[in-house]
Amino acid sequence: MKYTPSIKRTTTQPIDLAAIRQAFQGWSNSPDPLTKLTRRLSTTLSLETQLAILAEELDSVIPFDALSYRHKIAHRDFVFATGMGGPHRCEYRLNLEGVFYGTLTLNRRKKFSDDELQAIEMIISAAIFPLRNACQYIAIEQAALTDALTSIPNKRALDEHLRRASLLSDRHGEEYTLILCDLDHFKAVNDQHGHVVGDHLLKLTAEAIENAIRNSDSVYRFGGEEFAILLPHTGEQEARDVADRVRNAVASIKIDCGGTDLSVTISCGVARHMAEEAASQWIARADEALYRAKAQGRNCTRVFATIG
């Protein structure tokens, strides 16, 4: 049997459409700064765009020389800045319902008056709800792209970044290289020491890889005990050197397992992006190099050789 829910009207009063239309037109066309600000902020969930709007609307009321905003969202620093600073500063910690949403700072050469400071506070109060929503949106996006165990980007993030790297490589001739890494005999770690120790090892491995690579490189949990490293502006030999640093860093991990130290090794496969190559093909070649590293003794690096 198919059930179709019914909607019950809670009122029989007629709708004053003219009044609603008039209120909407008033809201849409109101020149007052707070209404205009909130109206513009409601059009986007991009925190960067919202801050640019806030800076523009704020400057039209209280001129300033520089605006900056800092916040850590989902373990990542978010920084926005516009203009050049001055010696006088006012700083606001944005809090809403007990939750911190970043620090907003204004600078200018001339001292802010008490009236200007009160006006700034009222404008920020009007902006705090949209800014909160934008922060939460970023956090949700980051959660979808972050591995819950290791707190590094996950395979979904890797897929997106590989597609972007492939486009940049083809369009501008930029060199990108991918490293796939796989912990050796990880199943034995789980079997002998349990999944708690195994999970701890994965966390330490992620940290060791991050410490072994450059700031421009990025590491991802590819799945299980497998990790991926994307290296921009990097050729095969440089990537091999990075892979060897990663192997040494992972080999230095020691876990106390009740009187005995647990240590592991990792195998690496390297592949440079080729012209007109899809991300899936690129991953497949790196995986082939990793397979050879596993087959040829583990704890080593193998490169999928390319010509040209």
C-alpha closest to that of 204 among 270, 250, 156:
250
Pull the structure tokens for residue 168: 């940049």
Strand partners, 93: 103
Q: Choose the catalytic residue: 116, 121, 160, 225.
A: 225
User: Using CA atoms, how far apart are residues 244 and 263, in angstroms rounded to an integer?
Assistant: 17
Q: Is 225 a catalytic residue?
A: yes
The β-bridge relationship of strands 226-232 and 76-83 is unpaired
* Angle between helices 186-193 and 195-212 in degrees, nearest 10: 140
**Taking a C-beta distance cutoff of 8 angstroms, is the pair 28, 12 a contact?**
no
Apex 35 CA angle, 29 and 41, nearest 5: 105
Which residues carry out catalysis? 225
